[in-house]
Structure 1
Amino acid sequence: MTSIQSAYIHIPFCKQMCHYCNFVKYYYTEKRATEYLYALEKEIDSYLPRNNNALGTIYIGGGTPTALNKEQLTQMFEMLHWKFDIAGLEEFTIELNPGDIDEEKADILKAYGINRISFGVQVMDDNMLMQLGRTHRVQDVYETVNLLSKKDFSNISLDLIYALPNQTVEQFQRSLKEALAFQLPHYSTYALQIEPQTVFYRRHKKGQLHRPPEEDEVTMYQILKESMAANGIEQYEISNFAMPGFESRHNLTYWNNEYYYGFGAGASGYFPGKRIANLRPLPIYVEKAGSGDRPILEIDEIGIREEIEEELMLGLRKIGGYDERVFQRKFEFPLSYLYSEQLDKLMKQGLLTVNQGVWKLTDEGLLLANLVFEEFILDDLQLEEIKTKML
């Protein structure tokens, strides 16, 4: 497993349930969280029995990791310091929500080496926050940013969602302007997705969820890109913007189609030749992992077809594009061997461009990225050609 340089750690506890979120999550109780942390440590041991393991990035997500109390946060970090070479990490990220952290918790994060904060704001509008099922308000955002600045956290990423129910272009523009006024070095921005097993999904099925028209969503995305550029924040992935040097190292692991561990209930890991998804129900995860067994729900074998498709679909999400020489090194045959017609078609449609072997989505391609990615789905004949080529 020496080729794995990143780990995602899932803490599934929340003090509220947002209406749009379908991540594995449970209401926080002290007893549940204590049992979970024990099981989490046992799961990590099952993959990495030795201590002081070297990685490049660790990302602690949720749920809301800072829903843990101070003693549990300390317990978790003590365990991670024992298992991993934290001092050698390039990036150590934790997610938090406005109002979920006080000075003592901020001091714990600082003391244990957290050097990046992913900050779940979503929208700078109290009414819309209530509609999303969020418990924080805009004032909490200001207070939390001030606290993080006071504690010398300089690498902060602020999350925003747009195309919210009943949201107008003007409302989005005001929310974005207020968020940008913090002058943070990183912003992650996503159009609302209606996910199964959420409050919004049930409302959508009943015809009670009124999203903005598609043309307004496109306008919001254009405003987003222009506003970021005007503030010196460069787009480096379809939904992510950063000042130079503040790009998310951990998320680049995903977009570069590299391997990573996934620890915790519902977490997924990517290993050579397979993806492993963990059990989602909390009691079953705790029982299985706590007994020393790996809490695996399913293992998906990743064949050459899936590897090639994901390589391009993920790589082209980056604004810097995808270098066909990387493809040649990984698969030992040229990109054009499989996709000559598709690449030519996408160029003629104005969705892709190429310069010195680097393929990039155009501005229109960014808006229609899913249509572009569909062109890289391999059929059975292409798969046989690959197998023949690799013999």
Structure 2
Amino acid sequence: MSASDWSSKDFYATLGVSKDASQADIKKAYRTLARDNHPDSNPGNKAAEDRFKEVSEAYAVLSNAEKRKEYDEQRTLFGQFRGRPPGGGPGPWAGDGTEFDLGDLLGGIFGGGRGRGRSAPGRRGDDIETEATITFQQAVDGATLPLRMTSDEACGTCHGTGAKPGTVPKVCSKCQGSGMQTGTSGGVFAMTEPCSQCRGRGMVVEHPCETCRGSGRSPASRTMQVRVPAGVKDGQRIRLKGKGGRGERGGPDGDLYLVVHVESHSLFGRKGRNLTITVPVAFDEAALGAQIQVPTLDGPSVRLKIPAGTPNGRTFRAKGKGGVTASGGRGDLLVTVDVQVPTELSPQERTAVEALREARGSTDPRASLTEQVG
């Protein structure tokens, strides 16, 4: 939405946070509300879709320190106005032939006013943050995801003017389009303040657009294909340049920040570019040595040699069976041995273990501990 429309909405109430809420609290509230009301989770639910747009709109402002500060200042200045004030976007208006920018005139209050007849520079689109959950396999190999986004864009009905089709905004007769008026305090000091007739916009929309109610901006949904690189970690924040909110008046689009959540795998884990797996090994295999088959994530199993006398917890390395690296190669598969001790023995097994005990004799495996204490 345009900065000129901020003062008419309580973004803190929309997210259910206090005005002095921290950025962490704001992000937590947004994520909860966005997840509960996302259109993909509520197909055909218009109320949930509208609510999702509202919280996205609020978060786009409150998550940006500069925009939040400007919003708080505007709310203080225009707190007495409760209705949605008319506003608009760029374009040549009827009147004296001068081109004004409706969406940015109010911003001049804090950034320095513009003289009549000067066109405003393009406004950069909002940065947007969203989340996506991917599988373990997608995180290892990389994936292209369809991502549905909601952001403010120029109203499709009035094309950003804020005025009902067939009409145009008028230059404010009181401030002559400057958006400011000068008065005196006690007859001594001259004070400049927002124009009381146009509320600082410089333009007056006599017939507001019914779609955007005069703001010139409206939430719009779009689906884009987003590439998640191989090796992405759970909770990682990826910046996608130019994939955020649409810019205004030729300004660049904002950026999209994608927070990735990676589902766990029943067998495999990750350690850097390497994959990890724990495999059970029988006592006799560890004691006498063996050849075992170990599964891989996306290919045939690999044969691994377990040497005689392998202790529990030892890790072996299967070269080139891990995750994809940035250079296009592959990491390794780290195989940790878990020596299994049977909880129940058959008569034949018990006989064999008893024979092993007898063969071991009186050798005490804890003798060295006693010597160290002594």
TM over 0.5: no
TM-score (norm 2): 0.20
Task: Report which of the two has the higher share of helix.
Answer: 1
Task: Report which of the two has the higher share of strand.
Answer: 2
TM-score (norm 1): 0.20
Larger radius of gyration: 2
